[in-house]
Amino acid sequence: MVDRQNRVGSKFGGGGVSSAQQTERERKDRLRALALETIDLAKDPYLMRNHLGTYECKLCLTLHTNEANYLSHTQGKKHQAGLARRAAMEAKLARQRGDTDVMMPLRTTAS
């Protein structure tokens, strides 16, 4: 974690300001650790590692160079919109088949 108390000019003998590159690296490490705690990549149905060693999102058809890029992609707008679109499509198909076991509950109007 970045020590934000000991900046240049704040105290006698304080350390220097961390570089932008170091701050960005630490931010990415924190985000990656947080994402790995909440998301299990082994159970992700959309993650595929191809023969080149890159990661591919089968939902969005995007390529990612490493797990961190894929994890940040899963938090993004494009992937979240794809998940919502897929859930809506599955709910519609389930209603057409007459299934009662639907991922999202159907809304009923109270009269």
Give the pLDDT of residue 16: 62
Whether the CB-CB separation of 72 and 31 falls below 8 Å is answered with: yes
**Residue 56: beta bridge partners?**
48, 63
CA 87, CA 56: separation in Å to the nearest integer?
20
Contacts of residue 13, Cβ cutoff 8 Å, sequence gap at least 6: none
Nearest to 39 by CA among 66, 74, 69: 74
Alpha-carbon span 47 to 70, nearest angstrom:
8
List, for residues 31-90, the tens digit of each pLDDT value. 778 777 777 888 889 999 999 999 999 999 999 998 888 888 988 999 999 999 999 999
Confidence category of residue 10, pLDDT binned at 50, 70, 90: low
